[in-house]
Amino acid sequence: MLLEINRLFFSYHPEKPLFRNLNLNIGEGKIIALAGESGCGKSTLLNLIYGLLDWENGEIKLNGTKLRGPKGNIVPGESDIKFVAQNYDLMPYSTVYDNVGKFISNIQLAKKREKVEELLDVVGMKEYADIFPKNLSGGQQQRVAIARALSVTPKLLLLDEPFSNLDFSRKIELREKLFNYVKKENLSLIISTHNLMEILPWLDQIIVLQDGRLIQNDDPEETYNHPYNEYVAKLFGEVNLFSDEEKTTFGISKNFWFPHQISIVENGKKAQVLESRFAGNNYWNKLSFNGKDIIVYSENKLSGTVDISF
């Protein structure tokens, strides 16, 4: 097991405990999402793993060795872990190239240049090699920081909301190149996010936190198809929620239905169309079903009364 978190306790304030007896195991070579709403403890947990915060009780182990935290390290942080937080800590008066190559030996300069260029290509910043970070946007600085973290091939890479400052096209380009590189190098990656859908295809595991509590820890398919509760289901986007009573009354099989899981059919349950809006690759529809508003996606614009199937 690469990372073990056993019986972890942590609080920012005695009256507001965050983690209480948190236990987690993370395997080698995995891409793992740390998911949950803002304030659930995602960033705090990454800071604890990296060694920027002291925990009250419990232990964190990397490859079986106990991590010491700030009290045990003269320089904050763990040598086999790299952490890209939302403040990127780049050298403002060194070029992008020099920032990425900061931790790479100068003994073989040709190999160093090859490595830096490869990493700049991974994060889509190759043409900015000679630019100073102070002249880059926040999203560009974020990508440089990711390349620098990858330069030392860490056993564990921690990324805190790495796509938060990127426009849509850059996000698509970066996520594929980054995840493919991580897999190629057999690195372990924990990535905090509040938007699971944008990285779902690359994930091996999803860890869901709510107010410091571990709510669900499963593979992506299990988490998506069988969310533990309403909180987990909403992390995947729009979802139709039904109480146990409604589930029985309406004759449906589960409490959580994503819009695409409800089909428009010829002979089904009657629903009244309240709104039908073009949304790109589908139409977004609000329907009234037995007095309850639900969201359904369809290929064509809807009107009047339609039949649906769960």
The tens place of each residue's pLDDT in the chain, 310 residues long, gives 899 999 999 999 888 889 999 999 999 999 999 999 999 999 999 999 999 999 999 999 999 999 988 887 777 688 899 999 877 789 999 999 999 999 898 899 999 999 999 999 999 999 999 999 999 998 899 999 999 999 999 999 999 999 887 888 888 888 999 999 999 999 999 999 988 999 999 999 999 999 999 999 999 999 999 999 999 999 999 999 999 999 999 999 999 999 999 999 999 999 999 999 999 999 999 999 999 999 999 999 999 999 999 9
Please tell me whether the overall predicted TM-score, pTM, comes out greater than 0.85 for this model: yes
The phi, psi pair for 39, rounded to 5°, reads 90, 5
Determine the Cα–Cα distance for residues 272 and 305; give it in Å rounded to an integer: 5
Spell out the domains of the chain, with CATH numbers in brackets.
Answer: 3-229 (3.40.50.300), 240-309 (2.40.50.140)
DSSP string, 255-280: SEE-GGGSEEESSSEEEEEEEEEE-S
Please, which residues have CB within 8 angstroms of residue 17's CB and are 6 or more apart in sequence? 9, 10, 11, 212
Q: Are 65 and 51 within 8 A, CB to CB?
A: no
Please, which residues have CB within 8 angstroms of residue 3's CB and are 6 or more apart in sequence? 24, 25, 26, 49, 60, 61, 62, 156, 188
CA angle 155, 161, 162 (to 5 degrees): 65
Determine the Cα–Cα distance for residues 179 and 16; give it in Å rounded to an integer: 36
Determine the Cα–Cα distance for residues 17 and 211; give it in Å rounded to an integer: 9
